[in-house]
Structure 1
Amino acid sequence: MQVFVINPNATESMTDMAALTARRVAAQGTEIRSATGRGLSPRSIEGFADEAMSVPSMLEQIREAEAAGAQATVIACFDDPGLDAAREVATGPVIGICQAGIQAAMVLSKRFSIVTTLPRSVPAIEDLVLRYGASHHCRKVRCIDLPVLSIESDSQHAFSLLAGEIARARDEDGAEAVLLGCAGMSEMTESLSRATGVVVIDGVVVAVKQAEALVGSGLQTSKANAYARPRIKV
């Protein structure tokens, strides 16, 4: 089985982290291929314009990956940029890490919160929570007020901020689980869970496992209607 992990932004180190996480949890026999956004893709995705700029390159790379044998795609960005468009161009399942993480949180807990990076990311994630039918279950979308790229450059500070915010979600929100709202946080998951005593969920991990399950079940993206490829107009 081959799973394609695409980081829609243009920062190679973030791709490497997502790929490392994916390979760590992938089943024996699953090959993880990864790629970084190119062209006009921004260095980090921290707003609606960043999302829009990342999508054209991502769609092209998904097509290329499937032509090279990828059977499923994981979009390693918590905003799930271009998710519907990706499902339209892809044959295999396309998993967004936000949707996968929210679905896992709803299975593992009755109430959960999300901790992301910047305040400006909160409204977009709140919209996704509503879209995925989780508004009743998600207590709050919190942030640590730290840019995405600072998670890597100052990881100790980021860990401290995350641990504090997760503890507040536990104590103030009544959250029984916390979903990390950025792919760049993926390698901190286990340590944060130990530090806070809360079930901490990383979207990259659950998206990879969901992709494996769907491919293993012989399922592909439906082309019956909404995700049908557009006909070429002449």
Structure 2
Amino acid sequence: MTRIAIVNPNTTASMTATIAHAARLVASPTTEIVPVTSSMGPVSIEGYYDEAFALPGLLRAIGEAERDGAGAAVIACFDDTGLDAARAMVHVPVIGICEAALATAALIAKRFTVVTTLERSRVPIEELAQRYGMAGRAKIRAANIAVLSLEDPNSGARDRLRNEIVRAIAEDNAEAIVLGCAGMADLARILSLEFGLPVIDGVGAAVKQAEALVALGLSTSKRGAYAAPIAKPYSGALAGFAPA
């Protein structure tokens, strides 16, 4: 049995439940999905400022997941919040849902569009697309919706998401759509049927990639950038925790 920790780096438990459901839909029968809600940080992550406050809780959760026997971890935020720090800290594979989603989209489409939430969330994703070598293939759009409004059926958020997908197909000639927020994880299948093209959820993509790495016996390299840090005492939010 492979255990995969799905860490929601914000503190909204209802979003964790949505993420966990999406993960379990695609997980193999021999995979145990262990959802984790961060114990500290913002209620949602919508740009650089929120990311900074999410890091202590996220890193603590991933460290504890490895100690509890997780074979891999998924960071369920499309900003890939804390991804490099987490990979340097633990020895198990750590997957960011943005990187996973873009890699998956690249396998099935030449041009694709990421539809995310707010404008301040769009810019970090553009930088990630550049980092992952996808800037020439991926367009990034913001649907002008707050993350938590996705949970309110009366907010109109899902209609604005659909309208942005319509524009992406017409104006970007998108061959696939990537949902640029973990809070959208439950919408991929219905939107794919509705629009007649692949709609990719990063949570599901990350779970399958985590399973593949575990099956291949591959883990995070500890040479170069991800070399294991020297154990040292921490204060404040990470008091009592040191890298393995």
TM-score by length of 1: 0.96
CA distances 1:183-217 after superposition (whole Å, capped 9, x unpaired): 00111111111111221100000000000000011
Match in the other structure for 1:210: 209
Unaligned 5+ segments in structure 2 are 234-244
Aligned to 1:122: 122
Which one-letter code corresponds to 1:149 in the other structure? L
Tell me, yes or no, if the aligned pair for 1:163 and 1:196 is still in contact at 8 Å: no
Rounded Cα–Cα distance in structure 2 between residues aligned with 1:233 and 1:6? 24
- What TM-score, normalized to structure 2? 0.92
- Distance in 2 (CA, whole Å) between partners of 1:155 and 1:109 is 33
Q: CA RMSD for the aligned pairs?
A: 1.4
Q: 1:155-174 CA distances to partner (integer Å, 9 max, x unpaired)?
A: 77222222221121111101
Aligned residue pairs total 232
Q: Secondary structure at the match of 2:113?
A: strand
User: Retained in 2: the 8 A contact 1:159–1:188?
Assistant: no
Letter in 2 for 1:209: K
Q: Which residue of 2 aligns with 1:169?
A: 168
Whether the 8 Å contact between 1:170 and 1:198 is mirrored in structure 2 is: no
Give matches, 1:6-85, under 5 Å: 6-39=7-40, 41-85=41-85
When structure 1 is superposed on structure 2, of 149-158 and 115-124 the one drifting more is: 149-158
Q: 1:130 deviation in Å?
A: 0.4
Amino acid at match of 2:175: E
Matches within 5 A, 1:72-111: 72-111=72-111
Whether the aligned pair in 2 keeps the contact of 1:163 and 1:195 (CA below 8 Å) is no
Q: Distance in 2 between matches of 1:44 and 1:228?
A: 30
Alpha-carbon separation, structure 2, partners of 1:11 and 1:155:
19
Moved over 3 A (4+): none
Structure 1 residues 218 and 96, CA gap change in structure 2 (3 angstroms) = same
Percent pairwise identity:
51
CA separation of 1:55/1:155 partners in 2, compared to 1, >3 Å: closer, same or farther? farther
Per-residue CA distance 1:130-182 (angstroms, 9 max, x = gap): 011101111x2111111000001137722222222112111110110010000
| 1:142 lines up with 2:118 in the alignment | no
